[in-house]
Structure 1
Amino acid sequence: MTGFLAVFGYVDPESPLNYNLETSVQTLIQSLMQLGGFVASLFIFKFGAFISNRVGLWTGSAFSVLAVILQMSSIKISALYMGRLFLGVSNGFYLTYSATYLGEIAPTYLRGSAVGLVTFQTSFGALIGILIDNYTAKYEGRTSYLIPLGVMFIVPAALSIGILFLPESPRHYIRLGSDENAANAIRILRGIYDEDQLAAQVTTIKDAWVIENRESQSVHLIDTFRGSDFRRTILSLCCSISQTASGVIFFSSYSVYFYAQAGVKNEFVWVMMSLAIALTGNMGAFIVMKFVKRRILLGVSSIVNSAIMFVIAGVYTRLSDGSYTAAQILIAMGTLFTWVYGIGQGPVLWALTVEIPSQRLRSKTVGLATGCNYLFAWIATYCSPYFINPNSLNWGPKYCYIWGVSNVVLGMWAFIFVPDVGGKSLEQITDSMTTHNDVKNEETGSVVELREFAQSE
C-alpha cells in the first residue's frame, strides 16, 4: 500500500510498486509475528496444563487488541515491530487453544474434519482481509492501512463474547475432577440427553485420564519424550513443522509482494481470488477427511504441491519476470497450490498434531509442537525476503525450487511414518499407541494392569 510504504519504506522508481521496503524491515515485519507465536508456545508449554481452552482464547484476544492499538497509534517503526510481535503472541494462543478445544469437544467421527476447519478459518479471515485491503489500498495517506487494522478489532471482540456461551471441553472438567460439569458439557456440545450414554462417555474419558495419570503424578518436559509418549511427541512435532515445510507460510506472508515483484497486475485481486478458490478446498476437506485416510491424503497432496512449486520455478527459469505468460502461470499455480493445501495438507496436519498426543500431555505437546513450527516459520519468513527482494538475491519465483524439495520430503514422510488414526476416539488412539510401545518395554508397566486400576478406582 502506498500509504504504508510512504511511512515505512522508500521511493524506488525501478519497482513495479514505485516503492520498496528495506530487506531488514521486510524480514522483521513478518518474522516478528512468528517469533511472538514461538514465545506464546513456550508459555503454553510451561503453563498450558493450568489454563483452560476458553482462558487461552481470551488471552489471545487481549494480545490481539493490544497489537492492533500499537500498530495504529504510531508511525514509529519500533511500535510497528512491537505490534507485530504481540500479534504473533495472539496467534500462538489462538491457534493452540482453538485446535485443542475443537479436538476435545468434537465427536470421534467429526474430529478430524472439525480440527481441519482451522485451515478454513484462516483462509476465510485472510480473504476478508485481502478484500478490505484491495479497496482501501487506493486511499491516500495512512488511512489505506489504518482501516484494515481497525477492522481487526471485530475478531477478538466477537470471539471473547461468543465463548461466554460455550462450556469447557469435557476432558478439561475431568482433569478438574468435576464429573457433573463434564456430563453437562457433553449434553450441551453433543446434544446427548440419555443419562446412561452420558455416564458411559464420562466413564470412558475418566478411565483414560486415570490410566495416563497413573503413569506419572506430575508432568515435566522430559515426560513428553518418555516411553510411548516419545513417538507421539515426535510425530506431533513433525506434523506441526510440516505446516511451514509445505510452503504455505511463505505464500501467506509474501503473496501480494511476491506477485507484485513478479509483474502481476492487480495483485490484491488475484490473491483474493486465490483465497476464495482455496475456501472450496477447505470446505471439501470436511467431507474428504471422513473417507480418505490421513496418510494417503497428506502424502498425495504434498506430492501434487511439490510439482506445482517446481512448475512455478521452472517457468521463471525459462521466462523473464515481466513475461505475461509467466505471470498467468504463476497465478494459476499459486491458486492451485492454496486449493490443494486447503483440502489436504492443512486440515490433516492440524488434525494429527492434536490427535496424536496423550491426554495428560496434550496441551504441553501441542504447545511444544506449535512452538517448533513458529520457530521454523520464523526462519522461513526471515530468510524469504533475502531470496525474493530485488535488493538481495532477487530469485523471485525461482525461490519455489526450495519449497518443491520440501514438499517431496513431506510426502515421503507421510507415506512412511504417519499412523492411521481416523475413526478412533482420542482415548482409543492413546490406548493403541501405548500398547504398541509398552508391550516392548516391561518397565513402563502393563496397560492391562493400568486399566484394571482405573476400573477399581
Structure 2
Amino acid sequence: MNNLNDDANYIDDLKGLDIIVQAKRATETEHALTTIDAIKTYPMAIFWASVFATSLVMVGYDSGILYSFYALPAFVQKYGTDYGGTVGWEVSAKWQNVLGMGTPVGQFLGAFTASYPMERWGRKKVFAGSLFFTTSFIFLQMFASNVQVLAAGEFLAGIMYGTYVVLAPTYASEVCPVALRGIMNAGINLAYVIGQFIASGVGKGVSEWTDQWAYRLPFAIQWIWIPLLAICLWFAPESPWWLVRQGRSDEALVSLRRLVRSSSNVDVTATLAMIESTTAHEAEVEKSTTFAECFRGTNRIRTEVALMVQTWQVITGISLIGYAVYFFELAGLPIAASFDMGVGNTAIGFVATCCSWFFMSFAGRRNIFMIGVGIMALSQILIGILDCLPNYTTRPGLAWAQAGLLDLLTFVFQGTVGPINFVIFAEIGSTRLRSQTCALATSTGSIFQIIMTVAVPYMLNASSANWRGKTGFFFGGISLVATAWCWFRLPETKGRTYEELDVMFETGIPVREFEKYKFEAVEGQEANDVV
C-alpha cells in the first residue's frame, strides 16, 4: 500500500512540476508580448472587455446630465425654488446634495452587493441582472413627478452603476494579457468620459427648450445602450480566472481560446497553467476570500493603494470638473457660452484619456498618477488666485482665464489620475481578492464622493458660500497632499504578472523599488527548488 501511495504522490509531483514549467513559459510569453502584438493576438479579449466597459458610458452620462440640469431653466423651474432678487430660480444646495448623493450612495451599496454575487454566479450573470434593473430605474428618473421621486430614481440607478464600476475593471483584468491590461482599464475611464461628452451634447441640445421634455428626453436616452449590451453579453465568454476558482478548468480553457485570434500561436494550455498556479499559490497564502482578508498580511498594503488612488481620484478636482457648466455660469459666462464650454471641456477629456495610453507606455502608472495630481494642484491654486484679483466681477477676462485653467485641469485629470486610477485598483489586489478589492475601492470612492457632493454646492452656490473660483484653493491643497502620498506609498505595477506582484508584496520589497526590481534571482531560486 505504501508503494502505491508513493507512486501516486510521485505522479502528483510530476503534474505539479508540469504546471510550474508551463506557467513559467506563459509568464515569459506575456513579458515578450508587445502592445501591437497583443492587439493582433487578442482582438476578442479587447472586444469583450470593451463591452463590459461600455456600461460606464451610462454612469458618466447620468452624472454628467444631472449636473448640467442645474443650469437648465426648464429643470430648475420644475424641481427648484424661486429665491427672487438677483438669485432667481435655483435648485437649492440641499436638494443638489440629495440628488447628487443618489449615485455615490447607490454606488457604495452596489459595489458591496456586487462582490459576493460576482464570486457566486460569475461576471456575466451579475452584469445581466444589473442591465435588467437599470432599465426599470431609468423609467423612474424619466417620469419623476417631484424632486423626491427623482432622488429615489438616482439612488436606485446608482446601485446598478456601482455594480458596473466593479464589474468592468475586474473583467478586463481577467481576460486581457499584461500588455493590454493598462490600456483596457484606462479605456474604462474613456467610456465614462464618452458618457459625460454625450451628456454635455444632449444638455446643449435641450438648453433652450422650455417644456418637460428638456429634462425627460435626456433621461430616456439612457435606454439606448441597454439592448446593445444585452445582446453582446449573451455571446461573451466568462472570466477564465473565475472559472478556475470554481474548479471548472475545462470551461476556462474554452474561454481562453475564445479570447485569442484563431490563427495565433498562443499556448492557451500554458496560460491556463499560469492561472492555476497563481490561484493555488494565493489559496495557500490567503485564508479566505472575504473582505476581512483584504486587511491581513501584505494584502493591507495592496488594499491601501487601491483605496487611496480611488480616494484621490474623487477629491483632487473631479468634483469641480463635474460642475463645469454650472461653474462657468457662476463665473459670469452667458448660459449658451457655459454649455458650449461644457461640451468643449468633455471633448478635452476624451482626447486626454486617449493620450493616457501613450503616457503609460513611457512612464508607467506611478509617475503618471503622481505628476498628474501635482499639476492639478498648481492649476487649481491658480484658479483660486484669479478669483481673488480686484474687481473680479467686472473683468470678464478673468472668468475666461479660469475657464481655460479648468480645461487644463480636465486634460490633466483625464490624461492621468482619471484613467490610471482604474488601472491601479483593478490590478493591485490578488486575483482571489480582486472583486473584493475593487468593491472596497469603489465604495471608498463613493463615500468621499458623497462628502464632495454635500460640500461643493455650498462652496459654489450664490445663495450659500459663493466661493466661485476660490474653491480651487481647497482642491489644490488636497492635491498637494496626494502628491506626497504617491511619492512614499504608490508602487509601480506596469509589466508585472499577477504572480510576480504576489511575490513582490510577500517578500516586502519597498514600493518605491518596484519599478527597478529584477526577477531573475527569484525565478532561478524557484526553478532550483522545483528541480
TM-score (norm 2): 0.79
Of residues 283, 286, 309, the one that matches 2:354 is 283
**CA apart distance, 1:433:** 1.5
1:232 has 2:302 as partner: yes
Letter in 1 for 2:475: W
**CA apart distance, 1:431:** 2.6
1:429 has 2:501 as partner: yes
1:137 has 2:207 as partner: yes
- What is the match of residue 441 of structure 1? none
**CA apart distance, 1:13:** 5.0
- What is the match of residue 258 of structure 1? 327
Within 5 Å, which residues of 2 pair with 1:331-342? 331-342=403-414
User: Which moved further from structure 2: 153-162 or 358-367?
Assistant: 153-162
**CA apart distance, 1:58:** 2.5
Distance 1:416 1:9 in 2: 46
**CA apart distance, 1:106:** 1.4
1:376 has 2:445 as partner: no
- What is the match of residue 444 of structure 1? none
On the 8 A contact 2:368/2:417 being kept in 1, the answer is yes
1:134-192 deviation per Cα after TM superposition (whole angstroms, max 9, x unaligned): 11121122110111111011122222222222111211111122222222222222326
- What is the match of residue 246 of structure 1? 316
1:39 has 2:81 as partner: no
Within 5 Å, which residues of 2 pair with 1:40-189? 40-189=110-259
**CA apart distance, 1:64:** 2.5
Letter in 2 for 1:287: F
On the 8 A contact 2:315/2:452 being kept in 1, the answer is no
Letter in 2 for 1:5: V
On the 8 A contact 1:15/1:261 being kept in 2, the answer is no
Distance 1:335 1:196 in 2: 44
SS of the equivalent of 1:140 reads coil
Distance 1:190 1:328 in 2: 50
Letter in 2 for 1:315: L
Distance 1:168 1:47, change over 3 A: closer
On the 8 A contact 1:187/1:193 being kept in 2, the answer is no
1:354 has 2:426 as partner: yes
**CA apart distance, 1:76:** 1.9
Distance 1:226 1:50, change over 3 A: same
- What is the match of residue 269 of structure 2? 199
Aligned Cα root-mean-square deviation (Å): 2.3
User: Which moved further from structure 2: 41-50 or 177-186?
Assistant: 41-50
Within 5 Å, which residues of 2 pair with 1:10-25? 10-14=81-85, 18-25=88-95
- Identity rate, percent: 22
Of residues 232, 256, 260, the one that matches 1:190 is 260
Distance 2:143 2:281 in 1: 52
**CA apart distance, 1:387:** 1.2
Distance 1:291 1:183, change over 3 A: farther
1:326 has 2:398 as partner: yes
SS of the equivalent of 1:318 reads coil
On the 8 A contact 1:56/1:94 being kept in 2, the answer is no
Distance 1:202 1:260, change over 3 A: same
- What is the match of residue 419 of structure 1? 491
**CA apart distance, 1:194:** 6.5
On the 8 A contact 1:45/1:365 being kept in 2, the answer is no
**CA apart distance, 1:104:** 1.4
On the 8 A contact 2:124/2:233 being kept in 1, the answer is yes
Letter in 2 for 1:74: A
- Count of aligned pairs between the two proteins: 443
Structure label with greater radius of gyration:
2
SS of the equivalent of 1:357 reads coil
On the 8 A contact 1:169/1:182 being kept in 2, the answer is yes
SS of the equivalent of 2:298 reads helix
Distance 1:219 1:183 in 2: 23
- What is the match of residue 292 of structure 1? 363
Distance 1:410 1:216, change over 3 A: closer
Distance 1:90 1:30 in 2: 16
User: Which moved further from structure 2: 406-415 or 154-163?
Assistant: 154-163
**CA apart distance, 1:25:** 0.8
Of residues 71, 75, 78, the one that matches 1:4 is 75
TM-score (norm 1): 0.91
Structure 2 regions of 5+ residues with no counterpart? Answer: 1-71, 510-521
1:35-85 deviation per Cα after TM superposition (whole angstroms, max 9, x unaligned): 111111221345442242223333332342222111112322221010110
1:221 has 2:286 as partner: no
On the 8 A contact 1:297/1:345 being kept in 2, the answer is yes
Distance 1:118 1:322, change over 3 A: farther
**CA apart distance, 1:8:** 0.6
Structure 1 regions of 5+ residues with no counterpart? Answer: 438-446
Distance 2:196 2:454 in 1: 21
User: Which moved further from structure 2: 273-282 or 243-252?
Assistant: 243-252
Distance 2:95 2:148 in 1: 11
Distance 2:332 2:129 in 1: 41
On the 8 A contact 2:112/2:443 being kept in 1, the answer is yes
User: Which moved further from structure 2: 65-74 or 122-131?
Assistant: 65-74
Distance 2:394 2:162 in 1: 38
SS of the equivalent of 1:293 reads helix
Distance 1:138 1:350 in 2: 36
On the 8 A contact 1:63/1:90 being kept in 2, the answer is yes
User: Which moved further from structure 2: 38-47 or 384-393?
Assistant: 38-47
SS of the equivalent of 1:74 reads coil
Distance 1:86 1:2, change over 3 A: same
Letter in 2 for 1:218: S
Distance 2:385 2:100 in 1: 27
Letter in 2 for 1:345: V
1:374-433 deviation per Cα after TM superposition (whole angstroms, max 9, x unaligned): 001101111111111111111112111111011111122112211111011223222321
- What is the match of residue 403 of structure 1? 475
Distance 1:202 1:33 in 2: 38
